[in-house]
């Protein structure tokens, strides 16, 4: 059972429901759905110490690629550092 550390009382059904909804919300983008197409994820990054960009690719479900593209992309105009994530449809074998 879930026990609150201060009061030693159990969580109410409402608190359990909210915690479950939050956990499901975080996990949902990473759950592969049936008929979800695989996507080629292309990542381009440049650090301050390396003048040439580093490029690599990976194949992931489209939902995972979109989440990572949103959360990992940044650009710092002052230092010239950046990271870009591009989701492209994977080629059929």
β pairing state of 74-76 and 38-46: unpaired
In 1-93, DSSP assigns E strands to 38-46, 54-61, 74-76, 81-89
Does 3 map to a domain? no
Does 5 map to a domain? no
How many structural domains are present in the chain?
1
The set of long-range contacts for 7-16, using a CB threshold of 8 Å and a minimum separation of 24, is none
Does 1 map to a domain? no
- pLDDT tens, residue by residue, 21-73: 999 888 877 776 666 778 888 988 888 778 788 898 988 888 788 888 888 88
Structure confidence at residue 16 (pLDDT) = 92
Q: Look up the domain containing 35 and give its range.
A: 13-89
């Amino acid at each position: 059972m879930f026990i609150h550390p201060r009061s030693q009382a159990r969580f109410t059904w409402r608190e359990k429901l909210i915690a479950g909804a939050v956990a499901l919300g975080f996990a949902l983008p990473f759950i592969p759905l049936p008929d979800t197409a695989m996507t080629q994820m292309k990542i381009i990054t440049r650090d301050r110490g390396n003048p040439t960009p580093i490029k690599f690719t990976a194949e992931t479900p489209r939902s995972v690629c979109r989440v990572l593209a949103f959360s990992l992309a940044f650009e710092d105009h002052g230092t010239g550092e950046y990271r870009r994530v591009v989701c492209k449809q994977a080629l059929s074998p």
